[in-house]
């Protein structure tokens, strides 16, 4: 990719802490070029303590059109948006922000829709299935919502943060679509098993769940993009499971984010 930068180039940031692991700036920049837009995506390493100040400062630059949000800022950035989509308001989390006409920010969350679409790309139709989701953070919340909206018959959520898990279960249960409850690290009896946590990014990490209880009838997915094949996905494949990786998810999420940032 060759990008000719000039004073007319429009800026979009991806903000996180840490940020070195993200692969998206090149892909998003290429997607802008594919749409005929003179725009780039630039990484920004910002700590939670400085996030609000950074967004306020960034907002002063009139050539900044968008912000992509990654770990751990997806909940906090919701508070920095003047408006959000219905989906983001329900989840109270965003992963993409674009300018309103008055210069404030409008947020949406595409992790869940992108994940479920990638599942379908890889041969898993969630409707009528029983799903175990590990992780009730920003990405996990969005995936949980998308699974419920896609018609899973049962969704069990496991997260060591009891308050966060209970809050998500209660909100999803209020939709009255399928059964939503508390899960554990045991995947026995589920058709779909998903890791929506960062566990697996480091070599020293344990498995996010009891992989010895996976069986070949299960579909397993993970949100992590680096490493490309996490120990959880490797263990699932060794047991004959169909799988999807974080790269599959991100390709779909990227398309949704770029369309949103371009106002489509």
Enzyme catalytic residues? 74
- Distance, in Å, from the CA atom of 113 to the CA atom of 149, rounded to the nearest integer, reads 9
Classify residue 73 as exposed, middle or buried by CB count within 10 Å of its CB (0-12, 13-18, 19+).
Answer: buried
- Distance, in Å, from the CA atom of 96 to the CA atom of 94, rounded to the nearest integer, reads 6
Tell the residue number behind the tokens 């680096």, with chain if given: 226
Alpha-carbon distance values, 34 to 38, 52, 157, 258, 264 (Å): 10, 32, 38, 11, 14
- Distance, in Å, from the CA atom of 246 to the CA atom of 234, rounded to the nearest integer, reads 13
Helix axes 162-173, 138-149, angle to 10 degrees: 20
Q: What is the DSSP letter of 157?
A: E
Cα-trace Rg, the chain = 18
Tell me the β-bridge partners of 108.
Answer: 96
**Strand pairing of 219-222 and 242-244?**
parallel
At 218, phi and psi to the nearest 5?
-90, 150
């Amino acid at each position: 990719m060759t990008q000719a930068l000039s004073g007319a180039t429009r800026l979009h940031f991806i903000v996180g802490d840490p940020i070195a692991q993200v692969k998206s700036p090149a892909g998003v920049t290429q997607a802008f070029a594919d749409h005929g837009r003179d725009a780039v995506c630039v990484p920004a390493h910002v700590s939670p303590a400085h996030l609000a100040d950074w967004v306020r400062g960034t907002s002063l630059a009139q050539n900044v059109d968008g912000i992509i949000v990654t770990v751990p800022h997806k909940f906090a950035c919701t508070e920095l948006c003047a408006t959000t989509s219905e989906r983001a308001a329900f989840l109270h989390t965003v992963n993409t922000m674009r300018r309103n006409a008055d210069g404030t920010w409008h947020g949406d969350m595409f992790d869940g829709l992108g994940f479920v679409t990638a599942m379908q790309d890889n041969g898993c139709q969630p409707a009528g299935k029983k799903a175990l989701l590990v992780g009730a953070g920003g990405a996990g919340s969005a995936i949980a919502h998308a699974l419920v909206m896609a018609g899973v018959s049962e969704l069990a959520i496991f997260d060591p943060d009891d308050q966060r898990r209970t809050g998500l279960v209660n909100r999803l249960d209020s939709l009255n679509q399928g059964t939503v409850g508390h899960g554990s690290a045991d995947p026995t009896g589920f058709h779909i098993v998903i890791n929506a946590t960062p566990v697996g990014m480091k070599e020293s990490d344990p498995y996010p769940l009891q992989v010895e209880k996976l069986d070949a009838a299960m579909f397993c997915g993970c949100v992590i993009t680096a490493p490309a094949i996490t120990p959880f996905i490797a263990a699932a494949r060794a047991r004959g499971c169909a799988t999807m990786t974080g790269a599959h998810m991100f390709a779909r999420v990227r398309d949704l984010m770029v369309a949103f940032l371009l106002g489509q």
